[in-house]
Amino acid sequence: MKTVISLALLSIACSAAADVQNIKYVYDDSDAVYSIVSSVDSGTAIQATVQRSGAYFTNYTKLELDCANRNVRHMGMYNSLSGVEKAQFDQMQGRIIDGSIADEVGKVLCKDTTLTASQVAPQTEDLPTETPTDDNT
């Protein structure tokens, strides 16, 4: 009976681990591993919970990404998933900075939602203007 329960728990743990997606982000500790442990599409934004696992501790933060406008709202850093889930987002949004954790998460989660520059503001070519000539000279 214990073997059956152990196998059931192992299969649940393996399926939960399959949802975790590691991301490439080297900021403060080259041995730390950053992973997206959950994400939810909330209409105009994507909320993502990111786990940082290092040699001495693991912590979590939550981001809300506005992919189309490249904006982000952060929450604080917490030692547990339950702590980060109870926290409120910052009221202010900021721009996503290239190379930041928000940028790396956005590269994974926003790939199907971001607008290209041509969709946001179509390019128009400047046409040369013609000046009238006087043929009576």
C-alpha closest to that of 101 among 63, 136, 130: 63
Q: Over the range 15-43, which residues count as b (16 or more CB within 10 Å of their CB) and which as e?
A: eeeeeeeebebeeeeeebebbbbbbeeee
Amino acid (1-letter code) at residue 99: G
Q: Tell me, what's the pLDDT at 27?
A: 65
Q: Tell me the pLDDT of the chain averaged across its residues.
A: 74
State the average pLDDT over residues 93-110.
93
Under DSSP, the state recorded for 43 is: S
Q: Tell me, what's the pLDDT at 45?
A: 93
- How does residue 94 score in pLDDT terms, banded at 50, 70 and 90? very high
- How does residue 2 score in pLDDT terms, banded at 50, 70 and 90? very low
Q: Tell me, what's the pLDDT at 29?
A: 66
